[in-house]
Amino acid sequence: MPASSRTRSASRAQGVAPHGVVRARGVAPHGVVRAPGVVRVRGVALAAAAVAALTVLPLLVVLADAISAGGAGAAEYLLRPRVAELLGHTGMLVAVTVPATVVVGTLAAWLVERTDLPWAGLWRALLLAPLAVPAFVSAYAWATVAPWLTGFAGAALVTTLAYYPFVFLPVAAMLRALDPADEEVARSLGLSPAAVVARTVLPRLRPALSGGALLVALHLLAEYGVLEMMRFQTFTTAIMQRYAVGFSDSSGSLLASVLLALCLLTLTLEVAAQGRRRVARVGSGAQHPAPQLPLGVWKAPAALVLTAVVGLSLVVPVATVTRWLVSAVADGEVGGDLLRVTSNTLVLALLGGVAAVVAALPGAWLLNRHRSALTLLLERATYLASALPGVVVGLALVTLAVNWARPVYQTVWLAVLAYAILFLPRAMVSLRAGLAAAPPELSEAARSLGLRGPATLARVVLPLMGPSVLTGFVLVALAISTELTATLLLAPTGTDTLALAFWRETGELDYAAAAPYAAAMIVLSVPLTMLLRRHLLEER
């Protein structure tokens, strides 16, 4: 494998900034090196604040609507057994699925990256592939294959299988990037293998684990399609139901406000779980691949576990969609509008992906370089809207656009804004990981050598961040290509997308007619998923 851009730039920079190596050994606190340009920081802070303000706008509409219920009415509505039941369901799902994705994702990443399991490359590709299968397509497949599998068990199973790549991806990338030298040092100092892992590897994995877990938790709070098909009611399905009732009372907003509170709780827990240790190091040193742990007799069971994960998360949906597709082709039901619908989906995904990455940049940069209570608050604010169902954000944006931004109403730009707001966390998580890999010392060194700000960005920071920018883009684009309810409300009249068409056909019980759209969503996502794999897991 040829040297990647990361390794090359890093070693190039190492030559000019030897002092960086000293500080790089892991624990230097953030912000020790202050950037000289205060103005520049202000500019970025302003941009980050603007992004945060934009994402908070729909929340304000929701909260204002909830407040209109009045204190007594709100209390009476929220203090019902039904709300407690929904809270229990939502909490139960998060409490089971998040740990399950962490266990499955981490175990799979460890087996693939750190053991002598054969065909690691193939496993890596297969384990990431479920990212290409929309969660609700997977749920539909399960509803067909195992109709008895509903309620909590079905919901937990399908969400775990659909979301574990969110943990697998960052953990595997981190395991690859970690310098085993620390582990060797720890071992040479007499630590047991378990203690080595616990004291050198796990702390470094914390950001990847907590970031992945955060994405999973936020997705669970906002998940609708899977839970609807598995008939497991959570706050989000109840909110959708409330909107479906068709009356403009504030109870939908009241429920959405509870969801916001749950999201705040999740975000606070994640700050605690993330830890403050620095992960970046400067220079590749004498980096070499970590030794692969021989599995011995465990090889067969390990392969069996991964086979089960891949089989359940990938083979079941793909086989089911294929079955539908065959019957659709036999019936001549593959419609001529498939191409148009696919291109609509691609354009929206492309625009939304770029918008989300651009919007995430200032916040991610600030958080990495000038971490403070304020920047943390700005960042967390951008996560809030993503835990709301798309329909809530969508209706809030309709209200805002109709009243204050009429020209963008029913243009593609309002949909793009909604996507940026809803999927900002995906871009944020990736960009932060990327910035962590581009330590500030390198920029300092570049500046000390006479490069100006933009040139530093172009020649030092961006090459190091490239993969993570692309990762963020791909993750957002994948999410957009399967978004339902916000698209329905905000996309310009006459715009049809694959997700909408799939959902419509399954709603009409026409499995065969739905199949081409499901297949197109999967086919569309495959190259994006491959791109992710190449960028994150084959960089050495």
Partner 1 sequence: MPLNRRPLLGALLALPLALTACAGGGDGEQPFEAEAGALQIYSSQHRNVTQAWAEEFTRSTGIETQIREGQDSSMGHMIVEEGESSPADVFLTENSPAMTVVERAGLLAPVAEETRGQLREGTAPSSGLWTAIAARSTVLVYNTDLISEEELPASLMDLADPEWAGRWGAAPGGADFQAIVAGMLADRGEAETRTWLEALAENAEVYQNNIATMKAVSAGEVPVGIMYHYYWYRDQAGEKESSASTALHYFGNQDPGAFVSLSAGGVLASSDMSDEAQQFLAYVTGPEGQKVLVDSGSMEYAVGAGVESDPALPPLDELEAPPVDPFTLNSDEVLTLMTDAGIL
Could you say which residues in the range 434-473 bind partner 1, by CB under 8 A? 466, 470
Decide whether 154 or 363 has the Cβ nearer to partner 1: 154
Question: Using CA atoms, how far apart are residues 316 and 537, in angstroms rounded to an integer?
Answer: 25
- For the window 98-127, what string marks contact with partner 1 as x by the rule CB under 8 A? ------------------------------
Tell me the window of 156-164, 339-347, 372-380, 433-441 that interacts with partner 1 (CB under 8 A). 339-347
As a dihedral over the C-alpha atoms of residue 383, residue 422, residue 75, residue 95, rounded to 10 degrees, the angle is -60
| Shortest distance (Å) from residue 459 CB to partner 1 | 14
Give me the phi and psi of 196, to 5 degrees please.
-60, -50
Tokens 């190449």 belong to residue = 534
Question: Using CA atoms, how far apart are residues 168 and 157, in angstroms rounded to an integer?
Answer: 17
Decide whether 231 or 452 has the Cβ nearer to partner 1: 231
Decide whether 184 or 539 has the Cβ nearer to partner 1: 539
| Shortest distance (Å) from residue 438 CB to partner 1 | 16
Does residue 5 bind partner 1 (CB under 8 A)? Answer: yes
Decide whether 107 or 514 has the Cβ nearer to partner 1: 514
Does residue 528 bind partner 1 (CB under 8 A)? Answer: yes
Of these, 399, 405, 451, 457, which contacts partner 1 (CB under 8 A)? 399
Decide whether 12 or 34 has the Cβ nearer to partner 1: 12
Of these, 12, 42, 452, 534, which contacts partner 1 (CB under 8 A)? 534
- Which helix or strand (DSSP H or E) is residue 319 part of? helix 316-330
Does residue 289 bind partner 1 (CB under 8 A)? Answer: no
Decide whether 157 or 366 has the Cβ nearer to partner 1: 157
Question: Using CA atoms, how far apart are residues 488 and 493, in angstroms rounded to an integer?
Answer: 9
Question: Using CA atoms, how far apart are residues 423 and 475, in angstroms rounded to an integer?
Answer: 9
Give alpha helix (H) positions in 25-80: 38-67, 71-78
Of these, 72, 79, 190, 406, which contacts partner 1 (CB under 8 A)? 406
Token readout for 321 is 């969609």
Question: Using CA atoms, how far apart are residues 533 and 540, in angstroms rounded to an integer?
Answer: 12
Does residue 274 bind partner 1 (CB under 8 A)? Answer: no
| Shortest distance (Å) from residue 198 CB to partner 1 | 34
Give alpha helix (H) positions in 115-250: 120-128, 135-145, 151-163, 165-177, 181-188, 193-196, 202-222, 225-230, 235-245
Of these, 126, 156, 221, 398, which contacts partner 1 (CB under 8 A)? 398
Decide whether 109 or 396 has the Cβ nearer to partner 1: 396
| Shortest distance (Å) from residue 293 CB to partner 1 | 27
Of these, 303, 346, 405, 457, which contacts partner 1 (CB under 8 A)? 346
- For the window 215-244, what string marks contact with partner 1 as x by the rule CB under 8 A? -------------xx-x-x---xx--xxxx
Tokens 């993503």 belong to residue = 386
Decide whether 283 or 390 has the Cβ nearer to partner 1: 390
| Shortest distance (Å) from residue 210 CB to partner 1 | 29
Does residue 11 bind partner 1 (CB under 8 A)? Answer: no
Question: Using CA atoms, how far apart are residues 324 and 317, in angstroms rounded to an integer?
Answer: 11
Q: Which of residues 304-333 bind partner 1 (CB under 8 A)?
A: 327
Does residue 51 bind partner 1 (CB under 8 A)? Answer: no
Q: Which of residues 498-527 bind partner 1 (CB under 8 A)?
A: 500, 504, 507-512, 527
Question: Using CA atoms, how far apart are residues 383 and 259, in angstroms rounded to an integer?
Answer: 13
* Long-range contacts at 16-23 (CB < 8 A, ≥ 24 apart): 16/445, 16/449, 17/282, 17/441, 17/442, 17/444, 17/445, 19/441, 20/282, 20/283, 20/439, 20/441, 20/442, 20/445, 21/282, 21/283, 21/285, 23/282, 23/441
Of these, 16, 245, 326, 523, which contacts partner 1 (CB under 8 A)? 245
Task: List, in order, residues 6 or more apart from 237 with CB less than 8 Å away.
Answer: 224, 227, 228
Q: Are 162 and 138 in contact (CB under 8 A)?
A: yes
Q: Which of residues 129-158 bind partner 1 (CB under 8 A)?
A: 143-144, 147-148
Angle between helices 251-274 and 38-67 (to 10 degrees): 140
Does residue 494 bind partner 1 (CB under 8 A)? Answer: yes
Separation of CA 254 from chain center: 26
Decide whether 304 or 508 has the Cβ nearer to partner 1: 508
Longest Cα–Cα distance of the chain, Å, equals 69
Tell me the window of 181-189, 287-295, 301-309, 483-491 that interacts with partner 1 (CB under 8 A). 483-491
Does residue 80 bind partner 1 (CB under 8 A)? Answer: yes
Tell me the window of 111-119, 201-209, 403-411, 449-457 that interacts with partner 1 (CB under 8 A). 403-411
DSSP code per residue over 268-306? HHHHHHH-S-----SS-TT--PPPPBP-GGGHHHHHHHH
| Shortest distance (Å) from residue 96 CB to partner 1 | 20
The total of other beta-carbon atoms located within 10 Å of residue 38's CB is 9
| Shortest distance (Å) from residue 277 CB to partner 1 | 29
Size, binding site for partner 1 by CB under 8 A? 75
Of these, 29, 71, 190, 246, which contacts partner 1 (CB under 8 A)? 246
Give me the phi and psi of 39, to 5 degrees please.
-60, -45
Of these, 54, 347, 358, 405, which contacts partner 1 (CB under 8 A)? 347
Does residue 184 bind partner 1 (CB under 8 A)? Answer: no
DSSP code per residue over 481-497? TT--HHHHHHSPTT---
